[in-house]
Chains A and B, each alone.
Chain A
Amino acid sequence: MTSTMQRSHKEIKNTNPKIIMFLCRWCSGKGADLAGTSRLQYPPNVLPIMVNCSSRIDPQLVIEAFLEGADGVLITGCHLGDCHYKTGNYKAYKRMTILSKLLEQIGVNPKRFRLEWISATEAAKFAKITTEMVEDLKYLEPYRKGGKR
């Protein structure tokens, strides 16, 4: 509630933010499918890229996504303990925790980069997180880091 109130004072700077979303095939991807088949509403700003496991995502891909014009990057995977490959998401967590700290050091707004666990049944969480992130990014300038949009 407070956050929407605060927001209402701020102006929208980016009507159409673009988010690159990495999904793992086994949990988050299924969660996204379920959101679709359950006809949940979620914003069309998210461009999904399916990978086998969240540990497959090299930090370089995140940076390249930004340089190709993304306003935000969202990485999703199975909850800890649920990884199809047992511990892929543990690696992703360590990796992305260091990366987000690094991004913060160089001045990247933390709202632009998120890591979330979404299981195959959590269609509602998928819709909630994507909506939330798109809303957040509307209040930041278009990123245009690689000179692209």
Chain B
Amino acid sequence: MAKLKTAIVLGATCAGCDVAILDLNEKIFEVDDLCEFVFWPTAMDFKIDDLLALEDGEVDIGIYHGAIRTSEDLEMAEILRKKAKVVVAFGACANFGGIPSLDNLPYDQSLFDLVYEQVPSMDNPQGTVPLEIIELKSGDELTLPKMLKDAGALNSVIDVDYYVPGCPPMVPLIEKVVDVLKKFSETGTLPPKGTVIAGEGTLCEECGREKPEQISYHAFFSPQETKKIDPDKCLIPQGIICMGPATRSGCGALCTKMNVGCRGCMGPTVKVKDHGLKMISALTSLLEVDTEEGMTEEQLEKIVQRIPDPLGTFYRFTYGSSLISKLHSDKEDK
């Protein structure tokens, strides 16, 4: 049987998604039996010309990880779409914009200055800052790809066939992908377009922690602030923010098993339109339910101030494709 021609293309990625593939351990031999890599620059010496030299539609499986952040990411995504019969968005960045999309906030020069000039650890007497073009002494120019206005998910620029969420996708999910590829290579059949290769329900269903009948909790804590976390009980009543109720299952509750609240890297479930808004709604209904009556606005305010950064907390991986990001504006006059 002919091997599946496979291309793995990188966008704005940390390459953790590549490492995750290698984490398959001995299952990687199955990947090698199934796939012939025609492009995977992280693992082998490939240049863009190798991808361009292929016929349109010649690649059987195109995997893309990382967000669309620069003009090059966009170009690579478009080339992949042309060359590949099937395109898979791999990892939270390609699925939802991921962490790079947190950069879509209103641009503020002072933040840039802080990072490149003012932080105490910065020693930059010449005031060197990142540039898209520099001119060399020889007169030649060196250029970097342009930053797009916003970072987004793969499906904001090309048609995507399958989704594998997670930051990075976990080994059990990648094993599922291998099984899908195996079936494809043997029978020529693929799952319905748009399938998300992950669980269907919420993380809470997968997390073995015991959930009390009525959940109420007092104030939020960072795990390092609490004395002791009960390893068997749901984290929310213990005051630890956990995105489990709105997050898609499939990771095997990796974080909650380690006493760390879920940060939502699998993205929202199908029923949830906006990951963060759902969580804000859920968490505020439970916060201080048995004690809120009689509190003053100041007291309530103090409690919610314990979440200093709602955006980073509730949209760590999904801001780029969230509903609220459509409201994102450059600062208006106040």
Contact surface of A with B, Cβ cutoff 8 Å? 10, 55, 58-60, 63-64, 66-67, 80-81, 86-87, 90-91, 93-95, 97-99, 101-103, 105-111, 139-141, 145-146
Which of A81, A105, A106, A139 has most B Cβ within 10 Å?
Answer: A106
Q: In the complex, which residues 76-107 of chain B have their Cβ closer than 8 Å to any Cβ of chain A?
A: 105-106
Q: A94 touching B284 by the CB < 8 A rule? A: yes
Q: B273 touching A60 by the CB < 8 A rule? A: yes
- Asked if B293 CB lies within 8 Å of chain A CBs, one says yes
Q: B297 touching A80 by the CB < 8 A rule? A: yes
Q: A63 touching B287 by the CB < 8 A rule? A: no
Q: A98 touching B284 by the CB < 8 A rule? A: yes
Q: B274 touching A107 by the CB < 8 A rule? A: no
- Asked if B277 CB lies within 8 Å of chain A CBs, one says yes
Given A60-B278, A98-B304, A102-B314: 13 more A-B contacts, CB < 8 Å: A59-B277, A59-B280, A63-B324, A67-B326, A95-B280, A101-B304, A102-B280, A102-B310, A105-B310, A106-B324, A107-B332, A109-B329, A109-B332
Q: B294 touching A108 by the CB < 8 A rule? A: no
Q: A106 touching B292 by the CB < 8 A rule? A: no
When C-beta atoms are compared, the residue in chain A nearest to B293 turns out to be: A87
Q: What mask results when residues 254 to 281 of chain B are scored 1 for a CB within 8 Å of chain A, else 0?
A: 0000000000000000000110111011
Contact A145:B327 (CB < 8 A) given known A94-B304, A98-B310, A101-B310: yes
- Asked if B303 CB lies within 8 Å of chain A CBs, one says yes
A107 in complex: contacting residue of B295, B314, B331, CB < 8 Å: B331
Question: How distant is the Cα of A109 from the Cα of B93 in the complex, in angstroms?
Answer: 28
Q: B280 touching A99 by the CB < 8 A rule? A: yes
Q: B332 touching A102 by the CB < 8 A rule? A: no
28 A-B residue pairings within 8 Å (CB atoms): A55-B285, A58-B281, A59-B277, A59-B281, A60-B277, A63-B323, A80-B296, A87-B293, A90-B288, A90-B295, A90-B300, A93-B300, A94-B287, A94-B300, A95-B284, A97-B301, A98-B304, A99-B310, A101-B307, A102-B276, A102-B310, A102-B314, A103-B324, A105-B310, A107-B331, A109-B329, A109-B332, A145-B329
B300 in complex: contacting residue of A97, A101, A108, A109, CB < 8 Å: A97
Which B residues touch A98, using CB under 8 A? Answer: 280, 284, 304, 307, 310
* Interface size in chain B (residues, C-beta < 8 A): 41
Which A residues touch B293, using CB under 8 A? Answer: 86-87, 90
- Asked if B227 CB lies within 8 Å of chain A CBs, one says no
Which B residues touch A110, using CB under 8 A? Answer: 334
**Which 3 residue pairs of A and B lie closest in terms of their CB atoms, listed nearest first?**
A107-B106, A94-B284, A95-B284
Question: How distant is the Cα of A91 from the Cα of B280 in the complex, in angstroms?
Answer: 11
Question: How distant is the Cα of A100 from the Cα of B331 in the complex, in angstroms?
Answer: 15
